Amino acid sequence: MTFKQMAHLKRHKLCVHAKERPFCCTHCKRSFSQASGLIRRHHQKMHTSIF
């Protein structure tokens, strides 16, 4: 795998290899490695009736 920016490599190491998931849903406690996964994918599909 090739990364154009060092920040992308660091994020990859934390999320994939260290399995870090710092973003948690306050409704169901599911965790995500990136905020975009929590906001866009999860909340739009699972908790849209709450908003």
Answer for the pair 35, 41: CB distance below 8 angstroms, yes or no: no
- Residues 4-36 have pLDDT tens digits of 899 888 888 887 888 888 888 877 878 887 777
48 pLDDT tier (thresholds 50, 70, 90): low
Residue 3 pLDDT > 80, yes or no?
yes
- Indicate the pTM of the whole model: 0.54
What pLDDT score does 29 carry? Answer: 77
> Phi and psi of 40, rounded to 5°?
-75, -55
What pLDDT score does 6 carry? Answer: 92
